[in-house]
Homo-oligomer: A and B are copies of this chain.
Amino acid sequence: MVHIKKRPSDIPSIEDVARLAGVSITTVSRVINKATSVKEKNRVKVLDAVKQLKFQPSIFAQRLATGKTNEVALIMPRYEGIFYSFYALELIRGIGTLCEALKLDLLLHITDVRSILSVRGVGGIIFADVIGNRHQLEDALSRGIPCVVLNNYVEDLEVSCIAIDNIGGAEAAVNYLIGLGHKRIAHISGDLVTQAAAQRFEGYKSALKKKNIALSEDIIFKTDYSRGQARMAAEKLLKMPNPPTAVFVASDSMALEVMAVAKELGRLLPRDLSIVGFDDNPSGLYGPVALTTVRQPLIRMAEESVKELNRLMTEKKSKVKKIFLPAELIIRESCQPLKST
């Protein structure tokens, strides 16, 4: 039984390099891996051969031999809305750039939340939020794969998280409105299945409570983060006999929709309605009235997640970390003090 070498002739192996350089494959391997114990003369010969053959070691063979991988997966649940935010791009960009710097190969998975994750051979995973795909996270964890969760503080799992202080950010927004004299402050929430939306709602409620302002259910609107539902909420809100004087909106894109509706209904901004958004989406800058909003440190979040994952992958017995990043109120033009009547 004779086996024919089936390796395509056009791609050189370590053996070809060794032959050309007149050394053993072990020596070639040493040169590739920058081991020291190689005579300068041989090193040069090998390097020459490598260059001549355009040799690149097979990543698969390397990984099979070492059992190590520097491949990292970024899981973005295909959740309606996760891609609405321009920030998804910021995250991808931040993560991608840092991975490049750390020589990590980034695998991007846009998965259906219900699908079973196939992350065979991956050295670590970053979950961009965990919405409906917790089983994927648990599965990875049970396989002993280092994981980091972004934008979601997962308390009951031994996993590193990088989350944003949504509650604090929301409180800052509402406190700002209260400070301007507003008392009747509405809220248009995002999809409350997301932790971010729930926490922003939480912050809204607690800020009011701390100042002894009663919640009124009639000016709390729950949406799915879509512009359509924001529009409906805005219309209801603006047409009330006793409309609120201010509104805290859970996302900038919805806040922009509110502004659009207000304009259509002939309201003057910010005179008739003070508005604060959340996200610091650049689109907020270019309307007739620049949007006051809450900024999330996204690039930092992205960077922290890669650093943390890298740490988990390299340190042997490393403890998970829960990292909290602050959100910052950015005051622009969409709010004004309530004129006392």
A positions within 8 Å CB-CB of B: 6-8, 10-11, 54, 56-61, 63-64, 67, 69, 74, 76, 78, 83, 86, 88-89, 92-93, 96-97, 99-100, 105-112, 118, 120-121, 142-144, 256-257, 259-260, 263, 282-283, 286-288
Would B105 and A107 count as touching, CB distance under 8 A? yes
- Cα distance A88–B105 in the bound complex, in angstroms: 19
Would B105 and A106 count as touching, CB distance under 8 A? no
Smallest CB-CB A-B distances: 9 pairs: A89-B89, A59-B121, A96-B110, A283-B283, A60-B63, A288-B288, A60-B64, A56-B120, A59-B120
Closest to A110 in B: B96
Total identical chains: 2
A interface, by DSSP: helix, strand, loop or mixed?
mixed
Closest to A259 in B: B286
Q: Chain B residues near A263 (CB, 8 Å)?
A: 288
Least CB distance, A64 to chain B, in whole angstroms: 4
Q: Chain B residues near A67 (CB, 8 Å)?
A: 6-8
Least CB distance, A150 to chain B, in whole angstroms: 16
Q: Chain B residues near A99 (CB, 8 Å)?
A: 110
Closest to A59 in B: B121
- Cα distance A61–B96 in the bound complex, in angstroms: 27
Partner of A89, one of B88, B106, B121, B144: B88
